[in-house]
Structure 1
Amino acid sequence: MFSAQSLVALALAAFQASQVAAHGGVISYSIDGQTYEGFKAYNTPVGQTSIQREWDSYNPLTNPTDPALPCNANGASLGSGQQSATVPAGATVIAQWNDWPHAIGPVMVYMANCNGPCTSADTSSLEWFKIDEAGLLSGDYATGEWAQGKLIDDGSTWTSTIPSSLAPGEYMLRHELLAIHTSDQPQFYPECAQLILTGSGSAQPSGSYLVKFPGAYQASDPGVTIDVYATPDATNYTIPGPAVWQG
């Protein structure tokens, strides 16, 4: 017979498997050729070491003004286990997601200057700028290719480039998927990692390129509140948030 502890462990494993199958997040990063393991959701942060901030479940955030929108719930520093990847401006970043199941929706990548150590930064007070985005790549809502479909085709990975002119410093890196495959509510999946950027660049974004989370999105935004099944033949999709800062 199974002990009570064994039954609890089996139930937890089954629950985690069901969550992973339904939703997900970034599980590792490859930056400038080096791989960094992500935070392991559903596990205590005690003893974990990662460049990624804590995120506790594979479930989505469904409110565009959720306080957890900057870096997911709960987005905390790992304390002594929190690391930062030292990378050069212009480096290629490959985010590896779990076996991502949703093919409809945009992919967005942001950065924010921590103006000091990122480990002690309050992510809700940071000013974020977008370095990459993709939405409806071709075709219509119902049968076209979306960025998340491309992500799936590429082995649940997304590749971006840090602007080569960006000034050195400590930055937060934020990947976000907005799944819009349901007609009732958006599904946000954000995760953050910490970087120490090197190089000789001096550029910094300003003005309308900078946004805060929450605050960058509203439920009334056309790319957020959308029923792709109501207008399946539509071919224009507006990606929420600011324009991409090229550097």
Structure 2
Amino acid sequence: MYFSTAAIVAALSATASAHGGVVSYDIGGTTYNGFVPYNSASGQTSIQREWDSYNPIQDPTLASMACNAAGAPGSLVATVAAGSKVTAYWNKPWPHTIGPVLVWMANCGGDCKTFEPTGNVWFKIDQAGLISGNLDTGLWSSGEMVANGSSWTSTIPSSLKPGNYLIRHETIAMHTAGQPQWYPECAQLTVTGSGTGVPAASLLAAIPGVYSLSDPAMSVDVYSTAAQTTTTWAIPGPAVYSG
């Protein structure tokens, strides 16, 4: 079957408009471009780990849940002082307004360019789920992110021990009952400062591992009759490490 170039471009455009991810960052007042999907990794310089598609991850047991696919290390590292703000920008406008936004970090224990984030290494520094109202028509954090120009700002804990870290931004689209859509991207940081803070073991989680399709929070139908009167939603995983 023959497909014209225009048809292929239209199909890619439709995909891009429906999905996406974090495309840039503001870190300590400096702008960093993200990896550009659908383009060869050769010649790209970014603090962001490689992600090759705008499509979501729908199986939370996949290794790509950590930093998306292919997840290959970026060529750059951004320096940020503990206590500083990090803003992630999604492709604008982000199309999904029902679901949480979470920000994780992992200590690379050395060079982030050779670090594989396996096991219980991830800790949250920020999270928000259902902010107000009920599940189907209320304000979710992803809706707030869209209202803020498809951006989300978090603060690196001021007491966090200096070192090399991955920062992982994630939003989960919850508009399809029983089939969440995960959109994770990772970037490489060097955190500076004089802090000594290290997250307790109880605050660490494995990704993949922290999410399950059988979790009631993940399998909820936000358009069900029950959802119309439900005003709480439990964010999966450990509590936020505040330092």
The TM-score with structure 2 as length reference comes to 0.94
Which consecutive unaligned segments of at least 5 residues does structure 2 have?
Answer: none
> Is 1:202 aligned with 2:192?
no
Which string of whole-angstrom CA distances, capped at 9 and with x for unpartnered residues, describes residues 148-176 of structure 1?
11011001000100000000000000000
How far has the Cα of 1:225 moved from its partner?
Answer: 1.5
State the partner residue of 1:93: 86
Between stretches 121-130 and 210-219, larger displacement belongs to 121-130
Paired residue secondary structure (2:106)? strand
State the partner residue of 2:101: 107
In structure 1, distance between residues paired with 2:163 and 2:7? 44
**8 Å Cα contact 2:123-2:241 kept in structure 1:** yes
Which aligned segments of 4 or more residues in structure 1 are displaced greater than 4 angstroms?
A: none
How far has the Cα of 1:12 moved from its partner?
Answer: 4.5
1:91–1:123 distance in 2 versus 1, CA, 3 Å: same
> Is 1:233 aligned with 2:226?
no
**8 Å Cα contact 1:112-1:126 kept in structure 2:** no
Which string of whole-angstrom CA distances, capped at 9 and with x for unpartnered residues, describes residues 62-90 of structure 1?
11212110001111124xxx100011001
How big is the alpha-carbon RMSD for the aligned residues of Structure 1 and Structure 2?
1.6
> Is 1:55 aligned with 2:51?
yes
Paired residue secondary structure (1:27)? strand
> Is 1:31 aligned with 2:24?
no
Query: Quick one: which of 65, 69, 77 aligns to 1:84?
Result: 77
1:170–1:11 distance in 2 versus 1, CA, 3 Å: farther
1:11–1:48 distance in 2 versus 1, CA, 3 Å: farther
State the partner residue of 2:134: 140
Which consecutive unaligned segments of at least 5 residues does structure 1 have?
Answer: none
Counterpart amino acid of residue 197 in structure 1: V
Query: Quick one: which of 75, 96, 99 aligns to 2:71?
Result: 75
1:114–1:184 distance in 2 versus 1, CA, 3 Å: same
**8 Å Cα contact 1:137-1:146 kept in structure 2:** yes
In structure 2, distance between residues paired with 1:125 and 1:39? 25
Counterpart amino acid of residue 73 in structure 1: A
Paired residue secondary structure (2:131)? strand
State the partner residue of 1:183: 177
Query: Quick one: which of 117, 121, 126 aligns to 1:123?
Result: 117
Query: Quick one: which of 8, 13, 19 aligns to 2:15?
Result: 19
Query: Quick one: which of 207, 211, 215 aligns to 2:205?
Result: 211
Counterpart amino acid of residue 27 in structure 1: V
Paired residue secondary structure (2:32)? strand
**8 Å Cα contact 1:113-1:126 kept in structure 2:** no
**8 Å Cα contact 2:179-2:213 kept in structure 1:** no
Counterpart amino acid of residue 26 in structure 2: S
Paired residue secondary structure (1:29)? strand
Paired residue secondary structure (1:190)? strand
Which string of whole-angstrom CA distances, capped at 9 and with x for unpartnered residues, describes residues 178-198 of structure 1?
110111401000000000110
In structure 2, distance between residues paired with 1:242 and 1:112? 14
How far has the Cα of 1:126 moved from its partner?
Answer: 6.1
In structure 2, distance between residues paired with 1:158 and 1:73? 22
